[in-house]
Amino acid sequence: MPEGHTVHRTAKHFSKHFLGQTVELTSPQGRFTDARLVSGQKLVTSEAFGKQLYLGFEAATVRIHLGIYGKWRFRSFEETPPDPIGQVRARFISTDQVADVVGPTSCEVLDQLEVIAKQARLGPDPLRIDPGDHELERFLTKVASSKVVIGQLLMDQSVIAGVGNVYRAELLFRAGLNPYTPGQLVPSKVAAEMWFDAVALMKIGVRTGIMLTRDDYLKGRPAIVDRYFVYKREGLTCRNCLNPISIEVLNSRKLYWCSSCQKA
């Protein structure tokens, strides 16, 4: 499942290539029947909120959540848009760009009240501009008031929006935090440091298009096996000690961590 940085990159792509233009919206697959409600209107806003993309047209907003299997395909053209490939749920066509989304979990047209309601259910997003520390405070409050373990809280989109399995594992390792620590027992200083770490790492993801969590590799484009401390390294020696990396299942998702380094 794409994590938040990927959705923010998609929002930037729409801002660059579709914003302010009249966009034709169709559903080659035929399942997105509400496409007609905004087709032929100008795209006026493009923003990401966690793992959800909101494309605001003149009359309504299209919300897209890729989920586990969804993906985007972007192509440019000169005269005629290229034919869709596969089961395209929604197709966005501007003067010289086409964007196809395949297999999303959600693809729907919302009015403004529905948009507000959807976004209200989401936790703070480390990648959204916050003029103060409001988003940080929301995150700290949600963590401090919960008996749920921090490894599960970081995957809860109502606690922090945009973090997925990769960032979850890496943030916990970098914080030296045991994933089974109840939220209310996580020191506020540690939770705050994890929030700012998420902000920094996810911004790198937006800029580069790849997830990098090891400081020694932030300036390069390493192979995926070298990008992480613990993610998908089960059974291998921890990069900081001789302990083998563990893999367990927490709330139906794979959890990677070092039981030696993450004792706090």
Catalytically annotated residue among 28, 51, 124, 174: 51
Joined tokens for residue 71:
């993906």
Q: Which of 39, 38, 43, 48 is nearest to 72 (CA)?
A: 48
- 42 included as an active-site residue: no
Domains of the chain plus CATH, in order, are 4-120 (3.20.190.10), 134-257 (1.10.8.50)
DSSP for the chain, please give it. Answer: ---HHHHHHHHHHHHHHTTTSEEEEE-TTS--GGGGGTTTEEEEEEEEETTEEEEEESS-EEEEE-TTT-EEEEEE-SSSPPPP-S-EEEEEE-SSEEEEEES-SEEEEE-HHHHHHHHHTS---TTS--SSSHHHHHHHHHHHT--SBHHHHTT-TTTSTT--HHHHHHHHHHHT--TTSBGGGS-HHHHHHHHHHHHHHHHHHHHHSS----GGGTTS---HHHH-SSTT-TTSBPSSSSSBPEEEEETTEEEEE-TTT---
Percentage above 90 pLDDT, the chain: 88
pLDDT digits (tens, 9 = 90+) for 212-250: 898 766 555 555 558 899 999 999 999 999 899 999 999
58 is catalytic: no
d(CA 77, CA 19): 17
253 as an active site residue: the answer is yes
2: annotated active-site residue? yes
Confidence of residue 210 (pLDDT cuts 50, 70, 90): confident
- Flag whether pLDDT at 92 surpasses 70: yes
Lowest mean pLDDT among 58-62, 68-72, 126-130, 221-225: 221-225
pTM for the model stands at 0.92
Q: Check pLDDT > 70 for residue 56.
A: yes
Whether the CA torsion 184, 189, 190, 192 is positive or negative: it is positive
pLDDT of residue 154: 98
- Of the residues 42, 73, 128, 253, which is catalytic? 253
Catalytic position from the list 2, 28, 104, 179: 2
